[in-house]
Amino acid sequence: MNAMVKAEAVHKSFGPLEVLKGIDLEVASGEVFCIVGPSGSGKSTFLRCINHLEKINAGRLYVDGTLVGYREHGNKLYELRDREVAAQRRDIGMVFQRFNLFPHMTAVENVMEAPVQVKGESKASAQERARTLLDRVGLVDKTDTYPTQLSGGQQQRVAIARALAMEPKLMLFDEPTSALDPELVGEVLDVMRDLAQDGMTMIVVTHEMGFAREVGDSLVFMDDGVVVESGNPRDVLSDPQHERTKSFLSKVL
């Protein structure tokens, strides 16, 4: 199985604060890879490094065999130009905690925007595909609705459709349900389940342990900038080996 994502000794600091202290992991193509851990453990920062929203300070990150954000020449790394980074990002969809939809655009316009602006797709074909994607996330009746008229769960499903519109090979989810009312969480997780069944490679930072157990292929527990424990989600969640993992899970399960 080819690795879709490979992290080698990834370090990231913000000033004197070291947030990632040498992350090594691999995500296989088609895998649902869940990352859990307490707030401040570096989970979201690591996710942002994968599409170079944050620049790493040391180590290497590869997506589909390509070094992210840099080119390597004679063992030295040279940062890519913004345009080259943007080209890499096209293949990586990201869904944030906050939905970040354009408030002045309808649902269908939000989903169309990137294919038209970034890929130069015609408005007609982008609109047709946007409607198909909104149907896929169960919102075909909300195509002409503005974000303020949608519930949080509906907004997040539009955000997922928007990320899918670029036909990414990898989807990153940064705690996609944490800003939602509890009764709306299920509708977003259902969409993510469908994506997983379709074989989409997904890295999911989440507090939803039920989702991780049921849908995840692999799980890592991160704390204080390191991977403490990793394995099959069902094994890690039911029989954690490390005291720190046990302590964390005893509070959230």
pLDDT for 1 equals 59
pLDDT for 213 equals 94
pLDDT for 243 equals 96
pLDDT for 253 equals 79
pLDDT for 55 equals 93
pLDDT for 108 equals 97
Distance CA 145, CA 165 (A): 18
CB 112 within 8 A of CB 130: yes
pLDDT in tens, 87-98: 899 899 999 988
Q: Kindly give the parts of the chain with pLDDT less than 70.
A: 1
Distances (CA, A) of 54 to 42, 61, 169, 177, 233: 12, 12, 20, 22, 27
Distance CA 43, CA 182 (A): 22
CA neighbours closer than 13 Å in the CB half-sphere of residue 8: 9
pLDDT for 75 equals 82
